[in-house]
Amino acid sequence: MVQHTSSNCECESLRSQLAAAEQRGHELSQKCQQLEIQIFEALSSAQAATNTPNPENCSVAPTITGTVSQHDQLNSNPDNRFTSRILGPTFSLKGNTRKSNSSALSSAWELWGDDTTVEVPEASGLGLDHDTYVNLVNAFFDRRWPYLPVLHRGSFFQQHLTPFLTNSDMRPLSNFLVNIVCAIASAERSSQQACDKTRKVFFREAVKDLHLVMSSDNFECIQCLLLLCMYGHNEPQSVNMWYTTGLALNLAIGIDLHRKESLSSQGMMDGEMCKRVFWCAYVMSCSMAINMGRPLGIRESDISMPLPLQLTDTQLDESVRSPYVEETLIPNVADTSTFIHIIKLRQINAGVYTTFHSIGSTLADTTEIDTLRRGYFMELNQWLITAPRYMQTLSTFQSTEWFQIAFHHAVLSLYRPSRAVPMPSPDDLRVCTESSIGLISSYSALYARNRIKYTFVAIHSLFMAAVTMLYSLRAFAPLRRELAKPVIKTNISTFLTLFRGICDGRLVGEKCCGIVERLGDSILSLFENEDQADSNIDTEFQTWFGLQTHTFNPCANGIEDPENYLHGSLSHFPDVQGDLPWADLFTEGIDMGTADVWSVLFENLHDKSCPPPVNDLSQLPL
């Protein structure tokens, strides 16, 4: 075929114009990068000038003063463009989240989604003296460090706190580290509005140096991000916990902290800190994934990093002078025995979550379910039996009650309704009730001694325990008769007292109380009339368990009559409405005008690999 040349062809002209445009775009991009570097260098010089010690004021303890706002700082420094995500809310129902399927969100969004962080006004200076800073830092290491030993005590005092207090020879991250540690420690004080304001002012002062954190060495950056997450436990709407924990874990994986090979050619001090920091990132990421109903950050099979040795920071200091440091056998409040035990618990939690609660969990064989549960339950009992005991401790995480709370919370996750087992058996419901009451008792004991402080994880675990207990009472009538109405009333009242006491006036506390009261009144009404059960309550229970749009196969779980099963005719199951496949699509709405449905159907009809049609709707894929 011979193609005649057209005199009207403009291909060559268009190609030359495109090449010129690409060259111009490349030049503009280079110029933009040069301008950004110049701006960053100018800001760094200004920051260095600000941090230069003044000889006339070296004897004066630093005070917290107001500077530029967080919004202005993020806009002025090109290195800070992505830090706004770190300082965003963990749970948000704004923007694109409302457009998504709300049933995909865990119950935590319903509790905290509309909670906004109260802005703290600029302070002219708190006038804190030397002793106040030292006391706050000591409180951090005594009370919060055993749970997540992110920092080394001696190194922190020597490299950051002392230079900060003397205002001399400060490292770039000293201001951030001291302020964020004090912010975390302030949460351990008695619940007062003044302390709450102090904590937020410390936090605001710390995040002014967030751009230095993000431009620092990876290892130090991971430590700082984990400290932000520790603060976020108390203020989940001030730090985006999901984004920040994921960033910390991915940075750790990026420098191979998940592999034991990264310990080669390192001394005892550096090697142990690598272990601690990686496992801190693992613990935090695992906790957030489970509480938010999202995938785990790393699989157990991908980790070869050994657990930290049971050593104190003082022993690590001695390892610098003497390489022969023996691991202690008797747990000490200042060593890593608590942290090691928490890591083991999170590993069990991860296994339970992956097996029963992840989006693809399907266990059709009842025997397989029972075998897995017995195995996990034995591991949890062994974990509780071997929990370290301490004579005297200031940390809640080292108390006997906290280990019992962690145990009961794990048992509830194992036996409550899940994607693998949407309808627990009567025996499962009895276990759930016992663990719920055990968790209440342990929280009550800590609250009576003023040893429990507000964290969103504590409130969420307490709330899920209350919902699970009420669900068990609703689903299993003999259990209601065993406990009796006055006992159930007392348990509900205890829940409400704990919510209001721990939350100390926060909106989420009243929200939890309102939900538990409403569900509790519905359960108590069954004592007067079994036939007047509110069907909406049954649907709500499934929503709190994340099963609103979950589809399962009743026949696979040994149910002989699926039709009666879905309509709640069995006396020991609640009246749960059937959730057929695709129902969530019509509930959320689908724009049929923009969907080429017929082409998809005809394509499937002509596709030989397409599976044959099924008559049982329960066999349709999720």
Q: Distance between alpha carbon 432 and the CA centroid of its chain, in Å?
A: 23
Identify which of 345, 346, 270 has the alpha carbon closest to the alpha carbon of residue 308: 270
Query: What span, in angstroms and rounded, lies between the C-alpha atoms of 383 and 410?
Result: 11
Reduced 3-state DSSP string for 314-353: HHHHHHHHCCCCCCCCCCCCCCCHHHHHHHHHHHHHHHHH
Q: Say what the pLDDT of residue 1 is.
A: 54
CB neighbour list of residue 530: distance below 8 Å, 6 or more residues apart: 477
- By the 8 A CB rule, do 504 and 455 touch? no
Q: Say what the pLDDT of residue 310 is.
A: 95
Identify which of 483, 475, 477, 482 has the alpha carbon closest to the alpha carbon of residue 440: 483
Query: What span, in angstroms and rounded, lies between the C-alpha atoms of 91 and 72?
Result: 24
Q: Say what the pLDDT of residue 542 is.
A: 85
Query: What span, in angstroms and rounded, lies between the C-alpha atoms of 248 and 175?
Result: 20
Tell me the pTM.
0.76
Query: What span, in angstroms and rounded, lies between the C-alpha atoms of 266 and 260?
Result: 11
Measured between alpha carbons, how far is residue 332 from residues 146, 151, 290, 402, 427 in Å?
10, 18, 29, 17, 39
DSSP secondary structure of 514-566? HHHHHHHHHHHHTTT-GGG--HHHHHHHHHHTT-TT----GGGGT-S-HHHHH
Q: What is the amino acid identity at position 401?
A: E
172 burial (CB, 10 Å; 0-12 / 13-18 / 19+) is middle
Q: Say what the pLDDT of residue 55 is.
A: 34
Q: Say what the pLDDT of residue 33 is.
A: 67
Q: What's the token pair of residue 235?
A: 């203020």
CB neighbour list of residue 115: distance below 8 Å, 6 or more residues apart: 89, 91, 237, 506, 507, 508
- By the 8 A CB rule, do 408 and 350 touch? no
Tell me the angle at which helices 218-234 and 268-292 cross, rounded to the nearest 10 degrees: 40
Query: What span, in angstroms and rounded, lies between the C-alpha atoms of 91 and 240?
Result: 8
CB neighbour list of residue 111: distance below 8 Å, 6 or more residues apart: 91, 459, 460, 463, 508, 511, 512
Q: Say what the pLDDT of residue 613 is.
A: 41
Q: Say what the pLDDT of residue 550 is.
A: 55
Query: What span, in angstroms and rounded, lies between the C-alpha atoms of 160 and 157?
Result: 6
What is the Cα gyration radius of the chain? 28
Q: Distance between alpha carbon 10 and the CA centroid of its chain, in Å?
A: 59
Phi and psi at 228, nearest 5°, equal -60, -40
Give 10-residue mean pLDDT values along the chain (622 residues). Answer: 57 78 77 67 52 36 36 47 81 60 70 72 64 94 97 96 91 95 87 68 92 91 97 93 96 96 90 97 96 92 96 90 78 96 97 89 78 95 96 94 97 93 91 96 94 92 96 92 91 94 90 94 86 74 78 44 36 35 33 36 41 39 35
- By the 8 A CB rule, do 248 and 239 touch? no
- By the 8 A CB rule, do 318 and 308 touch? no
